[in-house]
Structure 1
Amino acid sequence: MMEILAPLLGGLGLFMLGMALMTDGLKTAAGDALKSILGAWTRTRARGLVAGAFITAAVQSSSAVTVATIGFVNAGLLTLGQAIWVVFGANVGTTMTGWLVSQVGLKLDWGALALPLIGLGMIAGLALKSRPRLGGAAQAVAGFGLFFLGVGLLQQAFSGLTPQIAALDLEGAGMFAIPLFILVGALLTTLTQSSSAAMAITLSASAGGAVPLSLAAAAVIGANIGTTSTALLASIGATPAARRVAMAHVAFNAVTAIGALALLPLLLWASEGVLDGAHLVDDTPGRLAAFHTIFNLLGVLLILPLAPRLTRWLAGLFSTPDEAVSRPEYLDSNLLQTPSLAVRSLALECWRLHTLALDLASAYLGESGRRTTAPDHRREALSELAGAIRDFIDQLTQVSLPPESGKALADLVRVIQHTEELLQASAQLQALPAPRTGPALKPAWDGMDAEVRASLSIAADRETFTDTAAQTEKAFQSLKKTLLAALAEGSAGLGPVDTGLVRAQVLRRIALSARDGRQRLGDWLNGGEPEAVEPD
């Protein structure tokens, strides 16, 4: 038994080590090229699919591509809609491993090929340590050697198991055989955390003919299902974006598996035709490799009409309050061809942005002037919302606009700017220490804080606009005079007075930004035009 178990475990270990070395080496050798492709080649679904397939085939790791895609989504460089097509492409690209094993690994003298590759690759890697990209290529060569060495050992192990497997009479196992082999394939992938390892085991086991083609194909389907475990494990405790990409992976592989099972005889027949047409080796491992590629391409065709709904469904999963804030509620690209409706929706979204910023400023200010800590991520969410509104305005400017709509856009852009000034001032207020309020200073501070809170409250009134600029300036000048008098009298030191003046200026900015944003919104909320807006 140990004569079979030792090469089986050793072959699996060498195969996985070779895959890891290949992946790391190829990624190092490629440098930033793969990231550039991933960032630039994803603007359409077809390009995202091709990019995912190409990069995965190049680095021999769908997990690496999925992790990189998640990083791009988290950084805002890829939308969810773009990312899911990269993931779908990665599933197609990962089928390259089956072709390598079936057409190369199981056909060559693995000792004569693998050992020189390992030796030359490692020697070259040591000699090229100072040149990372060349060293990475050398490491990949050594990885290929270990890859083929592992396949050879697996083939040797399963050749010894062929009589025992044949004695099981798998052909007559009945209706439970296919579900059982699907489970075996999924478990192999989950345990090794590598669908490539599960494929190598399946192809090696089928090479001797002991495992029937249909059951080996079921194990391949199971390996495809099991590969989702890597993405699911990586998404535990991760961001909502990461979990959505992982769920896209699960959804694609589930649809693909259902389609492959439903059309299993037809796909196996087609795989034979592919091998004959391409003049490749037509045996059980070759047909399994072709089957793996065909049913993943079938999965792309099946998911194509479902992708828009899938994207919308995923966008609603794992949603956080801040993400809900960052998504526009009133903007719809269908309104772009009707400028009056588009401007109306823009005004409503700007009002939403403005009032949410007012709420955040109030949280930073706190009750009775006491400083509280408001979440920075809420401010970031509002910044994302402002960016989405700007994108919509940019799209709207591409169509012909009547003069009144153009004037509205100018005012609404200024609303966004004033709101961003309000957010910046609020963040600055949070970073400042609470003011020192002795008996002489407290009335002036209370007056300034009361005026700022009143300005925020008035700016949140949708029906009427009241100009609070004069009262704000009066409260500011009174506080500044009191602070400077306290410094002159010696009742307050330079540090507290200096910090107090900065805080007073920030409070004035908050009040004026709130007032200016509400003034610019004017009557655009009700479909009208502001009566008078001072230039700013």
Structure 2
Amino acid sequence: MNENMQIVFGLLGGLAIFIYGMNMMSECLQKAAGEKMKSILALLTKNPVLGVLAGALTTAVLQSSSATTVMAIGFVSAGLMNLPQAISIIFGANIGTTMTAQIIAFKISDYIYIIIFVGFIIAFIAKSEKAKSIGQTIFAFGLLFLGIETMGDVMKPLASSPMFTQLIASVKHIPVLGVGVGTLMTLVVQSSSATIAVLQNFAAQAGPDGMTSILGLTGAIPILLGDNIGTTITALLASIGQTKDAKRTAVAHCIFNISGSFLFIWFVKPYATLIRFISPKGPEVEVISRQIANAHTCFNITMTLIWVCLIGVMVKIVMFLIPDGRKTESDPFETLYLDENVKNQPAAALQLVAKEILHLSDQVKKVLHDTVTVVKENQMQGVDKIQEESAKVTKLTDKITDYLAGLFSSGLLTEQQASQTAGLMYVLGDVERIGNLSAGIALSMKEKETNQYKYSQEAMDELAKCLKTLEKMFDSATKALRGDTTVELEKLMKRKDKIVNLDIMMRKSHIQRVNKGKCKASLTTPFTNILHLIDRMGNSCINLADAATNEVALKYFLPKDEMTM
């Protein structure tokens, strides 16, 4: 294999190891952080400063501004976050992503294999999931630096290539060309952290004098600016098919980086002088990696300070670029919150699932209320609508179940999150069951009319009373799941006892009416079937009440301001 091919494959292989290590570290950090991710996400408030902080902290954990940006877009699309909140998150994400460059700037080449070995041993012998995740994080951290070292080794021959040095000279003296190179690199790799790592490694290669960088800080800054522009493509791709606010969030990310690059491109030399002043001193090839990291951090902090004060202006700009169109009515039985792009962040994805289950419960409440109306007022024309809505409840439940199954198969769930996911499936099953059983009662009422069954008015009143009690039970159970502290679970249990007593009383009353000739004996079976459906609905309500007392309560996943809505 000739030297040029060795360089190309070495560079690609090193880049592959780096990206794999970074992704692995991100996944393991999420598992090690566990529920602390929820504490970070809880900072997503209306305060832009806290939003910036939340974005920075989340990105520091995820090790990817793209992941945080995609998550913010998903939250906006789901209605969990408004546009100004999401924009402030993205500002913070741009600061958080500079941590990767700062870590890379540390010279730990002598300790790479020790780090990899220690991480492997911890992951191999650890019994607890958290300890194993910490070991895998250390192992991935070592891989990340192994990739950097591999890229650095294969780049050294390039420094002595006349053709390559001439090409670099062109980039050094034409900043716009450097921006284009950086943008193109990030568009291809889809990771600004990876392309900045390549830039740091390449800039650390010595020129002909052996002391100065082949690229220099003034040549590296334009490429760095291009890397920041290129990373916005991930957000734009994630916003395709999403709501207008989600698209506006992605556009805000673009405006942030493009405006910053346009501003800084005019001051490359003064900016390079400032970065040299605040960075460690020494031979350029030894300190330029840190200088690039500092330039990256200062760029994003400066632009965040500028834009966080002008967040209202940013909102107006994106609203102008993507105006509100004509609103179309959405089907209430379609998913409102689930987002496939957020599956890689389980803490956030479970929050979306909790919101979706509450949305489903609202639709089931309508089905149950319509069933009460059918029984109480004998309005058989509403039965067909109830059957259609019940089918839609099942369809919506299937979509939520598929989403939860996808979370299981992702391999990113901690043991606690896996347990919560299983618990949410049980909650989901009980909510769906109540909707389907309600439709079953409505269908029984229609069959009564079709077969010309004649229940006494007394029997119909007792059924209506029982269903009304169930409606109150279900409403209280969903409020308890949401975190409403005014709901007394003991009273909920007593309502179940009331239904049981009503059931017994209605069975006895029915037999008495049959004996007196007020009801036909042939109606005993269909009447008993209705009572059986009511009993099962009561059991499901109690199951939901039980869930409200443990870690699968939906309040556990919701922001505080949404618990009692």
TM-score by length of 1: 0.59
Task: Report the equivalent of 1:259.
Answer: 260
Letter in 1 for 2:235: A
Runs of 5+ consecutive residues of structure 1 not aligned to the other structure: 326-352, 381-424, 449-479, 507-536
Q: Which aligned pairs between 1:38-57 and structure 2 lie closer than 5 A?
A: 38-40=41-43, 42-57=45-60
Summarize the Cα distance change of 1:134–1:501 in structure 2 as closer, same or farther, 3 Å threshold: closer
Q: Would you say 1:494 and 2:520 are equivalent positions?
A: no
Residue aligned with 1:321, SS: coil
Of 278, 290, 295, 2:294 maps to 290
Letter in 1 for 2:32: A
Letter in 2 for 1:165: F
Q: Would you say 1:273 and 2:274 are equivalent positions?
A: yes
Q: Would you say 1:8 and 2:11 are equivalent positions?
A: yes
Report the alpha carbon displacement of residue 89 of structure 1 after superposing the two structures with TM. Answer: 0.5
* CA distances 1:490-527 after superposition (whole Å, capped 9, x unpaired): 45453257639999xx9xxxxxxxxxxxxxxxxxxxxx
Task: Report the equivalent of 1:191.
Answer: 188
Report the alpha carbon displacement of residue 117 of structure 1 after superposing the two structures with TM. Answer: 0.9
Query: Distance between the aligned counterparts of 2:441 and 2:265, measured in 1?
Result: 67
Q: Which aligned pairs between 1:117-516 and structure 2 lie closer than 5 A?
A: 117-128=115-126, 130-162=127-159, 163=161, 164-168=163-167, 170-171=169-170, 178-208=175-205, 209-211=213-215, 213-236=217-240, 240=243, 244-245=245-246, 247-266=248-267, 268-279=269-280, 283-308=287-312, 310-311=314-315, 313=319, 316=324, 321-322=329-330, 368-372=381-385, 373-374=388-389, 430=439, 432-435=441-444, 436=447, 437-438=449-450, 440=452, 488-490=519-521, 492-495=523-526, 499=530
Summarize the Cα distance change of 1:439–1:19 in structure 2 as closer, same or farther, 3 Å threshold: closer
* CA distances 1:120-152 after superposition (whole Å, capped 9, x unpaired): 111121111x12222222222222222222112
Query: Distance between the aligned counterparts of 1:195 and 1:318, measured in 2?
Result: 37
* CA distances 1:398-446 after superposition (whole Å, capped 9, x unpaired): xxxxxxxxxxxxxxxxxxxxxxxxxxx999754644241236459999x
Query: Distance between the aligned counterparts of 1:41 and 1:212, measured in 2?
Result: 39
Is the contact between residue 224 and residue 253 of structure 1 (CA under 8 Å) also seen in structure 2? no
Is the contact between residue 440 and residue 533 of structure 2 (CA under 8 Å) also seen in structure 1? no
Query: Distance between the aligned counterparts of 1:430 and 1:55, measured in 2?
Result: 44
Is the contact between residue 115 and residue 145 of structure 1 (CA under 8 Å) also seen in structure 2? yes
Summarize the Cα distance change of 1:137–1:267 in structure 2 as closer, same or farther, 3 Å threshold: farther
Is the contact between residue 383 and residue 442 of structure 2 (CA under 8 Å) also seen in structure 1? no
Query: Distance between the aligned counterparts of 1:324 and 1:370, measured in 2?
Result: 19
Task: Report the equivalent of 1:456.
Answer: none
Q: How many residues align?
A: 391
Is the contact between residue 437 and residue 533 of structure 2 (CA under 8 Å) also seen in structure 1? no
* CA distances 1:285-324 after superposition (whole Å, capped 9, x unpaired): 4333222222222332343354236557389589763499
Rg comparison, structure with higher value: 1
Query: Distance between the aligned counterparts of 1:318 and 1:152, measured in 2?
Result: 54
Summarize the Cα distance change of 1:51–1:296 in structure 2 as closer, same or farther, 3 Å threshold: same
Letter in 2 for 1:258: S
Query: Distance between the aligned counterparts of 2:58 and 2:532, measured in 1?
Result: 57
Letter in 2 for 1:191: V
Query: Distance between the aligned counterparts of 2:265 and 2:278, measured in 1?
Result: 20
Query: Distance between the aligned counterparts of 1:432 and 1:80, measured in 2?
Result: 44
- Percent of aligned positions with the same letter in both sequences? 28
Query: Distance between the aligned counterparts of 1:159 and 1:205, measured in 2?
Result: 8
Q: Please identify, of 58-67 and 188-197, the stretch whose mean Cα deviation from structure 2 is larger.
A: 58-67
Report the alpha carbon displacement of residue 183 of structure 1 after superposing the two structures with TM. Answer: 3.6
Report the alpha carbon displacement of residue 172 of structure 1 after superposing the two structures with TM. Answer: 7.7
Query: Distance between the aligned counterparts of 1:65 and 1:142, measured in 2?
Result: 23
Of 82, 86, 107, 1:83 maps to 86
Query: Distance between the aligned counterparts of 1:83 and 1:169, measured in 2?
Result: 38
Query: Distance between the aligned counterparts of 1:289 and 1:321, measured in 2?
Result: 48
Report the alpha carbon displacement of residue 154 of structure 1 after superposing the two structures with TM. Answer: 1.4
Of 82, 104, 107, 2:106 maps to 104
Query: Distance between the aligned counterparts of 1:83 and 1:197, measured in 2?
Result: 25
Summarize the Cα distance change of 1:79–1:254 in structure 2 as closer, same or farther, 3 Å threshold: closer
* CA distances 1:336-381 after superposition (whole Å, capped 9, x unpaired): xxxxxxxxxxxxxxxxx9xxx89x969x98993441224669x99x
Report the alpha carbon displacement of residue 53 of structure 1 after superposing the two structures with TM. Answer: 1.1
Summarize the Cα distance change of 1:149–1:228 in structure 2 as closer, same or farther, 3 Å threshold: same
Is the contact between residue 456 and residue 519 of structure 2 (CA under 8 Å) also seen in structure 1? no
Is the contact between residue 487 and residue 494 of structure 1 (CA under 8 Å) also seen in structure 2? no
Q: Would you say 1:115 and 2:113 are equivalent positions?
A: yes
Query: Distance between the aligned counterparts of 2:331 and 2:325, measured in 1?
Result: 11
Residue aligned with 2:384, SS: coil
Query: Distance between the aligned counterparts of 2:54 and 2:453, measured in 1?
Result: 64
Query: Distance between the aligned counterparts of 1:323 and 1:44, measured in 2?
Result: 33
Is the contact between residue 15 and residue 151 of structure 2 (CA under 8 Å) also seen in structure 1? yes
Q: CA RMSD in A?
A: 4.8
Summarize the Cα distance change of 1:190–1:367 in structure 2 as closer, same or farther, 3 Å threshold: farther
Letter in 2 for 1:262: L
Query: Distance between the aligned counterparts of 1:132 and 1:317, measured in 2?
Result: 49
Report the alpha carbon displacement of residue 92 of structure 1 after superposing the two structures with TM. Answer: 0.9
Query: Distance between the aligned counterparts of 1:89 and 1:323, measured in 2?
Result: 35
Is the contact between residue 267 and residue 295 of structure 1 (CA under 8 Å) also seen in structure 2? no
Q: Please identify, of 60-69 and 311-320, the stretch whose mean Cα deviation from structure 2 is larger.
A: 311-320
Query: Distance between the aligned counterparts of 1:64 and 1:28, measured in 2?
Result: 15
